[in-house]
């Protein structure tokens, strides 16, 4: 699904964290294109239903403000990126994992220990979104008034605008885009040419700086991957067990989306008409790995339900 990106100034030191909320809260603002829609009530109810899924699942005490509007495509998100020191990020991820003692996060930091340089491309920084910064560094640490904007084509969804073709589940599209506002996504293919990232004396092109989810991108032989030169790129917490295959081809979709397959999932690169997948184990694992907290033993229960099926679909392929 299409997205647009804004690069903001590098942030070596983060803003002071504001008051914490009781749990993860998503505060929606509905644009006029939605509020004036003749089917606004059903559209807003579906968006609110998706929001409740995240609020009931994740326990980070942050408030994520998102604007929702209607537009073209199927779904898209716009957001800001901050250039954060990798040392600060890896320390925050480590501290969060050892506070929550969440199995997925502990495995994530074991594969990505505290370091001055990221293990994917070796730069001293990482590109992060507002909500992910707040999740790891504290509510309001990013200084963002809004985490981003989600655009939905309600002429294609159910529920949707009057006369909608009703081909795609609105709930699925909303969840896909919320995942990306919260921090899922790759910097591969974002068109960051001409931007300079990093912290002196180690500065360089932003195209060489990964996102948090890129830390879990592996080739078929278990080595890290940060290229679209091969289609074999997988989402894995530890580089051994694949939880999903990335859409790693230049087909117009995001490189951090899952490769669309026989079993539709929320983060698939292309929607499946008539299918209504909801947030599943692979999406939850990805969000947990980058710093969103699912209390134990809930994580184990979620994985028990879904991981076995995922593993049947995809075991490590060898080169």
pLDDT tens figures, 175-210: 999 999 999 999 998 888 888 999 999 999 999 999
Retrieve residue 235's tokens: 């989402």
pLDDT of residue 21: 59
- C-alpha dihedral (118, 124, 127, 132), degrees to nearest 10: 70
- Buried b / exposed e over 50-79, threshold 16 CB at 10 Å, is bbebbbebbbbbbbbbbbbbbbeebbbbbb
Retrieve residue 291's tokens: 């710093």
Query: Contact 122/51 with Cβ under 8 angstroms?
Result: no
Query: pLDDT tens across 25-46, in order?
Result: 999 999 999 999 999 999 999 9
Which residues have C-beta within 8 Å of that of residue 91, sequence separation ≥ 6?
114
- C-alpha dihedral (107, 110, 116, 118), degrees to nearest 10: -60
Retrieve residue 213's tokens: 């989810």
pLDDT of residue 245: 95
Q: Which residue has the tokens 């067990």?
A: 241
Q: Is the sign of the CA dihedral 126, 129, 135, 139 positive or negative?
A: positive
pLDDT of residue 190: 86
d(CA 155, CA 318): 43
Tell me the domain boundaries of the chain: 3-313
Please list the ranges in the chain whose pLDDT falls under 70.
1-22, 296-319
Helix (H) or strand (E) holding 8: none
């Amino acid at each position: 699904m299409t997205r647009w990106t804004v690069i903001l100034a590098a942030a070596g030191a983060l803003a002071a964290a504001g008051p914490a909320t009781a749990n993860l809260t998503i505060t929606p603002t509905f644009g006029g294109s939605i509020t004036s829609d003749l089917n606004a009530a059903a559209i807003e109810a579906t968006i609110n239903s998706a929001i409740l899924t995240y609020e009931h699942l994740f326990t980070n005490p942050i408030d994520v403000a998102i604007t929702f509007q209607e537009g073209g495509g199927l779904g898209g998100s716009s957001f800001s990126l901050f250039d954060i020191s990798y040392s600060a990020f890896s320390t925050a991820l480590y501290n969060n994992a050892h506070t929550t003692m969440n199995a997925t996060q502990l495995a994530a930091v074991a594969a990505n220990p505290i370091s001055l340089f990221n293990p994917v491309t070796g730069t001293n920084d990482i590109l992060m979104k507002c909500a992910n910064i707040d999740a790891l560094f504290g509510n309001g640490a990013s200084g963002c008034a809004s985490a981003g904007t989600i655009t939905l084509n309600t002429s294609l969804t159910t529920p949707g605008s009057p006369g909608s073709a009703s081909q795609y589940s609105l709930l699925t599209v909303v969840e896909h885009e919320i995942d990306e506002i919260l921090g899922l996504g790759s910097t591969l293919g974002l068109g960051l040419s001409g931007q300079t990232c990093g912290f002196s004396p180690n500065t360089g092109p932003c195209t060489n700086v990964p996102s948090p989810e890129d830390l879990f991108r592996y080739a078929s032989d278990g080595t890290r991957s940060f290229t679209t030169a091969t289609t074999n790129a997988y989402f894995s917490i530890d580089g051994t067990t694949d939880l999903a295959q990335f859409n790693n081809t230049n087909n117009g979709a995001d490189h951090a989306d899952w490769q669309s397959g026989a079993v539709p999932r929320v983060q698939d690169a292309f929607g499946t008409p008539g299918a209504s997948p909801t947030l599943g184990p692979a999406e939850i694992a990805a969000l947990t790995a980058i710093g969103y907290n699912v209390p134990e033993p809930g994580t184990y229960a979620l994985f028990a339900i879904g991981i076995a099926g995922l593993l049947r679909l995809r075991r490590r392929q060898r080169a």
